[in-house]
Structure 1
Amino acid sequence: MPKMPNEEASTITGSDTYSTDERTLYDHADDDGYSHGRPSTELSEPGHDILESEDERERLLTKNEGIAGIFSKKGVKIGKREPTKPDGDSNQRGKKGRNGEASALMYEMEEGVGVSDQSLSRGSSESDEQRLSATIVQRKARRTRIWRRIIIYVCIMVLFLVLFFVAYRVSKPSHPTAAALMLSNGTSLFAPTTILISLDGFRADFLYRGLTPTLNRFIQNGISPKYMLPSFPSVTFPNHYTMATGLYPEAHGIVGNTFWDPSLNKEFYYTEPEKSLQPFWWGGEPLWVTAERQNVRAAVHMWPGSEAHISHIEPAYVDKYNGSEVLPLKVDRILGLLDLPGPLDTPTRLDQPRPQLIAAYVPNVDGDGHKYGPNSTEIRQTIRNADAMLESILHGLQERNLTEIVNVVVVSDHGMATTDVSRLIQLEDLIDPNDLEHIDGWPLYGLRPKRPEDLDRLHQQLIDKAKRNPNIEVYLRDKDMPKRYHFSNNERIAPLWIVPKTGWAIVTKDEFDVEKGRENGDVYHPRGLHGYDHEHPLMRAIFVARGPAFPHEANSRVEPFQNIELYNIICDTIGIEPMPNNGTLRLPLKPVGLHTDPETPPNVTPADPVETSSILASTVLTSFASLATSASGLDDPMSSFLQIPPVTTPTTSAPPASSSTSESWWEWLTHKADNVEDWVEEFLNSHMPGKGDPKSTPS
């Protein structure tokens, strides 16, 4: 039967039909002033306060939502409550009110508000504030824990990256080029390693004398030009330091074996350590300094300049010069350095590292070339000994399984020319030494006048003398010095120069009296000299290389180059970055073919002593002049010859006066004819088409 209105109200408001949430929100203890027909949405004033506080809390939580919400273990989705409508059906209002209170209660339970909080009076705004404060504190604590965890994770990642970077740096070579993997010989790992050997005074055509089987096999297995050009002046100290720096002598400052520095007011003298081993003499950066600066250890064995403390950076090993050291000891020293433990070996001593660069200087060929001459019997044995030394080094590498691991580069600094009394010029015949303050160099002469205003006068005086003696050339440093010499842009270069032709020498009377020497048949020492035009065939040097940095076909040939290129090449072999220099070649070298190719220039031995194109006529005229004087009854057939101006270079020296009494004029003439015949044959071989290399003759 239909219900009465009062029964409907009773159904809505009766305690039996309330849900649990509705009973929580509706407390009968607060119904004193209301009838049973009162709607549930008509809450007391404290109820409105609760709703407002809940709204406020939602706004705060929504505003502070961020990274804490992302990292919380239990995600919370916060929605916006619809505001209570003032008008409308009371049933809807009651339902919405009850649902709103239920949502708030569910939210509190979801966020961890204790059950005891629910037992507090809903009408107390103070209790609501406490609950809100507790929630905010919990939120802050949670955010603090999250940030602490994040910081710990970040620190762990940073520490891991640091450890990874350190391990990477330790295992990685110091230069990108050296990233070519370390090579193993079966017992140890080797970083890129190069042995550089300089054979002082080893002329390029010494290779054609049948005295160097090891060097010739080395050429067949490696890469080389027909020759390497030295730099001007072609003497030891400037050229060894040019090879070590890649700079012309005018750029690095070692402009001779001896020279005067007007700014320092000091003299450089190569054989006196107190006058040559101070750092201020040595400009540029040599190989061993470049290597050590880039953490590549270097060992230098007697190389000129290595004892000078250049840039105050010392190589790991420096062996002082000892001209009497025998070659087998040099071999032992080089191989002993290779036997040291590497950086990854155990045990490894930091004070005894294995070097990656070993630069060794060998003076023997130069010393005996000066003493006996480049064509002497003695120098032949010296050349053999140098070749045997190289054989011992290569054999030692083979025993250590290092043939394909270690680079070997063999070079020389210049060649050598034969001297003779007949090719001497007296300095006093050219210029008055009293007009000079300093004389630099030798056998070429750099002149510094006492009075600068005398420079032009002395220059003109020498030009006039050179017109009568074509065996000297005269240059002003700042005016007509040949550009190809690269020998003018340094104040250490004297302002006036006398450069003798190859094979000639200028001497002072206190050194050698030329006139008396010719009369007495004296022998001039040194018997061999260098220092002349660096492009002359007798001054040519050598370059031969083999190893992993030279992955070329065996017996490869490159075009000849100047020794300013050596610095870059050696730097590339050991993976270091060279300093700016005058060289341009870099590895890999670019072969133009093989030494066995048909188009390869032939091996040519330049004439030594030097001859000129007019030598035949001069020799014949001299011989017949001597013959005529002898036939006319003169006791000394050389008397007229010695009075002839030295316009040309004689092929051979005339017999000394003491020998004229022991042979007849006919025997003497026969010997002369034999000499002329030998010379003609050599001349034709050198100058006729298809008989030789025209470049081998002097200009």
Structure 2
Amino acid sequence: MSTDTPAAQQRIPEKSYDDDVSTPSGSDSNFEDDPVVLHARRSVEVTGRDREILDEEEEREKLLTGESVKEASKGFFSTRYKDERHGGNLSNEEKRKSRRLRKRRRHVNGSRHDEEGELMYEMEEGGPISYSSSQASESSADLDKLDVARPPMSKKRKLALWHIVTISILALFFLLTFGAYKVSHKSRTRPHLALQSNGTSSFAPTTILVSLDGFRADFLHRGITPTLNQFIAEGVSPKHMLPSFPSVTFPNHYTLVTGLYPESHGIVGNSFWDPDLGQEFYYTDPARSMQPKWWSGGEPVWVTAEKSGVKTAIHMWPGSEAGMEFSATYLDKFNGSESLPRKTERMLGLLDLPGEQESAGLALRPQLIAAYVPVVDADGHTYGPNSTEIWSTISDVDTMLHHLFIGLEERNLTNLVNVIVVSDHGMATTSTDRCVQLDDLIDLDLVEHMDGWPLYGLRPKNPIDLRGLYDRLLVESQATGNFEVYLRDENMPERYHFSKNDRIAPLWVVPKTGWAIVHKEDFDVKKAKANGEIYHPKGLHGYDHEHPLMRAIFVARGPAFPHTPNSRLEVFQNTEVYNILCDSLGIEPKPNNGTLRLPLKPVGLHADKSTSSYDAPVDLPPNHTEPQASNDPSNDDHSITADESVVAEQETKNKEAMSKFWAYVKAKMKAAQAWANKVIEALKGGSKGDHKHAGEETPEQGEPS
């Protein structure tokens, strides 16, 4: 290809030459081989290089003084190509010299300068530059200048660099903070997480959770629970634990193992309508209720544990049969007729399984055992929370726990295994005289679904009827004071945490504690009173979760609770139990509504004089009706409203009966002691008459039988 092409001419680097030196013409071959010419040419090139260095220095000075690259480049090119722009022409010899010099520079520097130079211009100017045909012929020598004297960093690049540095610092700070948290968290739970031996086997952190359904907090003060009272004396507990609203079984048992309010985990009642699914949840129908779709709003502790590699055993816990993604390793389905001794055997049998160190392919011992005990709730419903039968049931449950603790002691596990005993809610006595006939207050034909019990959630067929139903119920509520009425989206008490879920009906009727909302399809109040019928169940729950009769229990003991025996905690809600369970096992809990973490922080002892007194809650008898509530807004909306004289009279009768009972017991003991003394005296003295008289000793007359 000819070297005189226009393209070749455009790429001539003008500054490679000295303007004062003339270039001889002639044949390429003769000119190239002549030593004199070669020497002259080298001199010209050296002079040109000196000129080039001066130009570079001048260009660098311009750049350092703040001139933009674009302006500098324009001046640079205008000087470089002034001969061409004004019609100046280079001779053929000059063209050849230019080509040879350009090749030599490319050989030394490589083609990278062209690429880097173009990239530099694009970055500085915020985009690619459009060059003219003359500008496109920039030489490698000019690009060398850009390598030597690069322009100042642009504002955009400075800002980008600042962002990168800032983000890096923040990321480093986050990593350091997270690392410190992990270290502190590990150190907080480390003492009870190491493997410990009972002499025959190694035990990883292990926790037994026992739920006594319907065990009211004041049942501990009836003198029939020596095991539980001793457990409190050895462990840590609040005076009572608050359930969640509504205070019924399924929502609260799922709250205990998820740490979420019912509005958050979605089990908002024992029965409820889901408008998205178009189906009803009903707790006693496993075909409907034990499906994963109902239970997807929370992650129970056995799922959290199994995901973390911790094996679990769940014994009849409500919701455990729902077929979740991660089921418990050992799952016992509900059996309402199972005896209490069998439950104890099951828990101890699970502890007897080999641990990971001794398994040798056998079944592994679970680290979490959660057992559900329904009998107190069942008998409380059937007979009432103050009946003779419930006293016997409470005593039986206490005996069951006694055998469990004895079993742990026999296995040398008392100080190795955590035991937590809880309940889900309390119980209140009902009465035919404390029933609200819902049919007499509103037109139930306007209602499509009724959720819950003894409180009712109403879903009108037509949303336009919602306000009318509410207004009618509100008038009756203010007139009688036997129930409260709330709109989910307007005035539901914030402390209920019962509004942020579509499964919660838009209108709720919440009876006062001890009252029940009924409709004639289930119970006709007028006919029942006329016929002397008794309302069943005799015991109910589901009321305001802060009412004293709804209080539950929490008691814990074990290596995860290294507290002074008989330690007392501040009262807390059952949303805290999930975190406590996870920490006792050394697993990380999922986000939840709880805030407590191990180690717990006691505020004193139960034996402290300032807090040792106990005020028994008032549970109205079956034949008593509360007076109408005052409309005074200063009254607490969950206070006890029983007439003080009636309450005082009832308490006086209870105290008198108890006093007579203990007087009778003491009299019998004294009589037995006197009889024994006389028998001993008769044996010593050989007095037959005295012996006969001692054997005929009878109780004093007038004592209660």
Kept in 1, the 8 Å contact 2:256–2:577? The answer is yes
Which moves more between the two structures, 226-235 or 274-283?
Answer: 274-283
Contact 2:291–2:322 (CA<8 Å) still a contact in 1? yes
Distance change in 2, residues 1:327/1:676 (3 Å): closer
Shift of 1:682: 8.0
Please state whether the residue corresponding to 2:355 is helix, strand or coil: coil
The match for 2:444 is: 433
> Which has the larger Rg?
1
Q: Distance in 1 between matches of 2:648 and 2:408?
A: 49
1:405: Cα distance to partner? Answer: 0.2
Q: Is the 8 Å Cα contact of residues 178 and 191 (structure 1) preserved in structure 2?
A: no
**Cα distance in structure 1, aligned partners of 2:242 and 2:653:** 24
How far the C-alpha of 1:430 sits from its partner, in A, is 1.6
Deviations 1:490-545 (A, max 9, x none): 00000000000000001111211101111121111100000000000000000000
Provide the rounded CA distance (Å) in 2 between the counterparts of 1:649 and 1:566.
31
Return the alpha-carbon distance in structure 2 between the equivalents of residues 607 and 521 of structure 1. Answer: 25
Percentage of identical aligned residues: 64
Question: 1:308 maps to what in 2?
Answer: 322
Q: Which residue of 1 aligns with 2:253?
A: 240
TM-score scaled by structure 2?
Answer: 0.63
Moved over 3 A (4+): 175-179, 613-618, 648-652, 679-685
Match of 1:190 among 203, 225, 233: 203
Q: Note if contact 2:434-2:625 (Cα within 8 Å) is conserved in structure 1.
A: no
Report if the CA contact (8 A) 2:217-2:552 is conserved.
yes
Q: Which amino acid aligns with 2:339?
A: V
- Partner Cα separation in structure 2 for residue 247 and residue 649 of structure 1: 31
| Mapped pair 1:541 → 2:555 | no
Q: In the alignment, is residue 678 of structure 1 matched against residue 649 of structure 2?
A: yes
**Is residue 2:348 matched to residue 1:335?**
yes
Match of 1:587 in 2: 598
Question: Residue 272 of structure 2 aligns to a residue in which SS?
Answer: strand
Counterpart residue type for residue 450 of structure 1: K
- One of 454, 472, 488 as aligned partner of 1:477: 488
SS state of the match for residue 580, structure 2?
A: helix
Deviations 1:423-465 (A, max 9, x none): 0111101211101000000000000000011111111111111
Tell me the equivalent position of 1:69.
none
- Corresponding residue to 2:213 among 200, 205, 210: 200
Distance 2:594 2:527 in 1: 47
Matches within 5 A, 1:390-429: 390-429=401-440
Residue 227 of structure 1 and its aligned partner are, at CA, apart by 0.1
Are positions 1:261 and 2:271 aligned together? Answer: no
- 8 A Cα contact 1:341 1:348, kept in partner: no
Is the contact made by 1:178 and 1:576 (CA closer than 8 Å) also made in structure 2? no
Q: Report the counterpart of residue 163 of structure 2 in structure 1.
A: none
What residue ranges of structure 2 are gaps of 5+ in the alignment? 1-185, 630-639, 657-705
Are residues 1:525 and 2:525 paired?
Answer: no
Q: Could you tell me which residue of structure 2 aligns to residue 598 of structure 1? A: 609
Which whole-Å deviations, capped at 9, do the CAs of 1:106-162 have from their partners, x for residues lacking one? xxxxxxxxxxxxxxxxxxxxxxxxxxxxxxxxxxxxxxxxxxxxxxxxxxxxxxxxx
* 1:604 positional shift: 2.0
Shift of 1:678: 2.1
Q: Which amino acid aligns with 1:193?
A: T
Counterparts in 2 of 1:466 and 1:683: CA distance versus 1, 3 Å: farther
Q: How does 1:243-322 map to 2 (within 5 A)?
A: 243-282=256-295, 283-310=297-324, 312-322=325-335
Secondary structure, in 3 states, of the residue corresponding to 2:489? coil
Paired positions, count: 459
Where does residue 83 of structure 1 map in the other structure? none
1:309 to partner: Cα distance: 1.7
**Does the CA-based 8 Å contact 1:475-1:498 persist in structure 2?**
yes
CA contact 2:627–2:641 (8 Å) conserved in 1: no
Matches of 1:676 and 1:279, distance apart in 2? 47
Aligned partners of 1:342 and 1:348 also within 8 Å: no
TM-score by length of 1: 0.63
Checking the alignment, whether the CA contact within 8 Å between 1:302 and 1:361 is kept in structure 2 is yes
| Contact 2:198/2:413, CA 8 A, preserved across alignment | yes
Shift of the 399–333 alpha-carbon distance from structure 1 to 2, 3 Å rule, reads: same
Q: 2:376 aligns with which of 356, 361, 365?
A: 365
1:84-163 to 2 correspondence within 5 Å?
none
Alignment check: 8 A CA contact 1:410 1:545 kept: yes
In 2, distance between residues paired with 1:682 and 1:300?
A: 44
Where does residue 691 of structure 2 map in the other structure? Answer: none
- Cα separation, partners in 2 of 1:524 and 1:602, compared to 1, 3 Å: same
Which secondary structure does the structure 1 equivalent of 2:284 belong to? coil
SS of the equivalent of 1:459 reads: helix
Task: Please list the CA deviations of residues 527-567 of structure 1 after superposition, one character each: whole Å capped at 9, or x if unmatched.
Answer: 00000000000000000000000000000000110000000
Task: Give 1:600 deviation, angstroms.
Answer: 1.1
**Secondary structure at the residue paired with 2:598?**
coil
**Compared CA separation, residues 684 and 379, structure 1 to 2 (3 A):** closer
Name the CA distance, whole Å, in 1 between partners of 2:251 and 2:469.
27
Check conservation: 1:616, 1:680, Cα contact below 8 A: no
CA drift of 1:265 comes to 0.2
CA separation of 1:677 and 1:397: change in aligned 2, threshold 3 A:
closer
Distance in 1 (alpha carbons) for counterparts of 2:394 and 2:613: 22
C-alpha contact (below 8 Å) 2:433/2:625 kept by paired residues = no
Q: Which amino acid aligns with 1:316?
A: T
For the pair 1:454 / 2:465, whether they are aligned, the reply is yes
Which residue of the partner structure matches residue 466 of structure 1?
477
The CA RMSD measured in Å over matched residues stands at: 2.6
2:364 matched to 1:353?
A: yes
Check the 8 A contact 2:356/2:364 in 1, yes or no.
yes
Q: SS at the partner of 1:509?
A: coil
For residues 416 and 286 of structure 1, do their structure 2 counterparts lie closer, same or farther at Cα, with a shift above 3 Å needed? same
